A = this chain, B = another copy of it.
Amino acid sequence: MPDVAKASPREAYYSQIARQRMSPLWESLHSLVPKAPRPQAVPEIWKYAQLREFVLKAGDIISAEEAIRRVLVLENPGLPGKSSLTPNLYGGLQLILPGEIAPSHRHTQSALRFIVEGKGAWTAVDGERTTMHPGDFIITPSWTWHDHGNPSEEEGGEPVIWLDGLDIPLLLQLDAGFAESHPEMMQPVSRTEGDSFARFGHNMAPVRYKATGQTSPIFSYPYERSREALDTLYRCGELDDWDGVKLRYVNPMTGGWPIPTMATFMQFLPGGYKGRSSRSTDSTVYCVVEGTGVARIGDHIFTFSPHDIFVVPSWHLVQLEAEVDAVLFSYSDRPVLTALNLLREERI
């Protein structure tokens, strides 16, 4: 720490160099290069029971078409005005009503959809539609045309709500965001539903396919299969002291993450499970699929119920308990940290 007696000539010097757009590192070194991460993001939970009415009310406030995307953005109180859940991750609840269309566009931001409530709506990506069911994890890769729609009430449409997860804040930080609107409301459908899953979903791949990026060629990871995998493993005796039964979603063409900037996970905690504490340098957003329990994050204690959303900032200890059998979906910026060799984890 600089000596107080010397401060005055130093202050004069600091003013001089400020005019040169320079500042003394030694006054800010400890905050620029901290001993350990000091996130501004804070642990927080959004209780779905409270939010649901507001999400539905958005349907009266604005149409999907006018809004382009009718989403309520969840804002971390520690990151005010940033439309962020964590420094790199955005999360919001999107509503699409029967008969509506969210118009086609594309952007360099990657998006995930995790279906919370309702079924039958669809997302179209690269000419192929995927029908949504609660618990499905669906991706819209960077720079791919995508639009969403919902059959009319006559066709059996019902309001559908999903959690959007995007890397919007990261791309703002990287100054790497580009976007375009499609000339049409909906992109043309050029492939049968199920086409990409048939090509890549069965541990096989077309013989001449060449991967061109890191993004998964599978657009939909159905809950039915994820749930079955968790069940089978639990019956096989798998149960980690920290994570319960925890799987990560995989791009089957690389073994890596389905999205190059966001990791996604699904885990099962049997009723009565009390996990141990761990922390890591990725920041995670959880969405409860089934069951109830308690999440202890840093100094916060949150009880959770289905569809609740909670956030674990970097390097905060997290510890999970299940009252009854619980299933949690989560996403984090882990691929970014891993790519840059900056992931650090600790299990206690």
Q: Which residues of chain A have a CB within 8 Å of any CB of chain B?
A: 2-3, 6, 9-10, 13, 16-17, 20-26, 28-29, 32-39, 41, 44, 46, 50-51, 54, 57-58, 61-62, 66-77, 83, 87-88, 90, 92-93, 107-109, 142, 168, 170-180, 191-192, 194-195, 197-199, 201-208, 211, 213-216, 218, 221, 225-226, 228-229, 232-233, 235-238, 240, 243, 246-255, 260-261, 265-267, 281, 283, 313-315, 333, 335-337, 339-344
Q: Are A265 and B214 in contact (CB under 8 A)?
A: no
B173–A67 CB distance below 8 A? no
- Known pairs A51-B20, A226-B204, A247-B205; A26 contacts B62 (CB<8 A): yes
Contacts A176-B281, A207-B247 aside, 19 further interface pairs with beta carbons under 8 A come to A2-B66, A10-B62, A25-B83, A26-B62, A32-B168, A33-B179, A36-B178, A37-B175, A87-B173, A108-B342, A174-B281, A191-B236, A192-B236, A198-B229, A198-B236, A205-B255, A206-B247, A253-B255, A335-B340
How many angstroms from the CA of A23 to the CA of B83 in the assembled complex? 8
Q: 11 A-B pairs, CB-CB below 8 angstroms?
A: A23-B72, A24-B58, A35-B178, A35-B180, A36-B178, A37-B175, A39-B175, A174-B314, A202-B228, A206-B247, A339-B339
CB contacts (< 8 Å) of A20 on chain B: these are 46, 50-51, 54
Contact B202 A225 (CB under 8 A): yes
Q: Point out the residue from B70, B203, B238, B251 that lies within 8 Å of A249, measured CB to CB.
A: B203
> In the complex, what residue of chain B is closest to A67 when comparing beta carbons?
B26
Q: Contact: B199 with A201, CB < 8 Å?
A: no
Minimum CB–CB distance from A334 to chain B (whole Å) comes to 10
- A35-B180, A175-B39 known; A83+B191 contact, CB < 8 A: no
Closest B residue, CB atoms, query A246: B207
Q: A29-B68, A247-B204, A340-B260 are in contact. Are A174 and B88 (CB under 8 A)?
A: yes
Contact A26–B69 (Cβ < 8 Å): yes
Chain B neighbourhood of A265, CB < 8 A: 207
A311 to B177, CA, bound (A): 20
Assembly CA distance A253 to B9 (angstroms):
49
Q: How far is the CB of A348 from chain B (nearest CB, A)?
A: 16
- Say whether B260 contacts A23, CB under 8 Å: no
Once bound together, how far apart are the Cα atoms of A13 and B62, in whole Å?
11
Measured in the bound complex, the distance between the Cα atoms of B243 and A343 in whole Å is 35
Alpha-carbon distance A46/B25, docked complex (angstroms):
17
User: Closest 6 A-B residue pairs measured CB to CB?
Assistant: A175-B314, A198-B232, A253-B255, A25-B71, A26-B67, A339-B339
Q: State the CA gap A36–B171 with chains docked (Å).
A: 11
By a CB distance below 8 angstroms, the chain B residues around A168 are 32-33
In the complex, A258→B252 CA distance in Å? 12
Question: Which residues of chain B come closer than 8 Å to A203, judged between CB atoms?
Answer: 201, 216, 218, 221, 225, 249-250, 252
Taking the closest CB of chain B, its distance from the CB of A177, in whole angstroms, is 5
Residues from chain B with a CB closer than 8 A to the CB of A71 are: 24-26
Alpha-carbon separation in the docked complex, A11 to B240 (Å): 47
Alpha-carbon distance between A229 and B178 when the two chains are bound, in angstroms:
36
Q: Quick one: closest B residue to A192, CB to CB? A: B236
